[in-house]
Amino acid sequence: MSDSEVTRTGGPRLVVGLYVVVVALTAGLGFVLGVIAPQGLDPELFGVVQLPPTPLGMAVYGAVTIGTLLGLLLVAVVYVSDRYADA
């Protein structure tokens, strides 16, 4: 088997795939939480934007919150690894 026949599954493609899966899973769990609708549910995006306590509102809240947090961490890791990586 030559090197051209071997497919690479790691690296940036895997990390982005995991990022998308985690954000989608969080949106799904937010939707389920919105369907259950416990008392006192009042999602507020970044402390500024009020979202309705509906399944869609909770899905948006979960996806945007986790997507932003993980996205910032991912950008920081990429920046540090590009800047300080050994050649």
67 falls within a domain: yes
Amino acid (one-letter) located at 13: R
2 falls within a domain: no
Residue 80's H or E segment, with its range, is helix 55-84
44 falls within a domain: yes
Domain that holds residue 80: 14-84
The whole-number pLDDT of residue 24 equals: 96
41 falls within a domain: yes
| Tens-digit pLDDT profile for residues 43-78 | 889 889 998 889 999 999 999 999 999 999 998 888
CA distances from 78 to 11, 15, 19, 45, 63 (A): 11, 11, 14, 26, 21
Residue 28's H or E segment, with its range, is helix 12-36
77 falls within a domain: yes
In this prediction, residue 79 has a pLDDT band, given cuts at 50, 70 and 90, of confident
| Tens-digit pLDDT profile for residues 32-51 | 999 998 888 888 898 899 98
The whole-number pLDDT of residue 81 equals: 80
Q: What is the DSSP letter of 47?
A: T
pLDDT higher at 57 or 13: 57
5 falls within a domain: no
- The count of domains in the chain is 1
For the record, the structure tokens of 33 come out as 């939480």
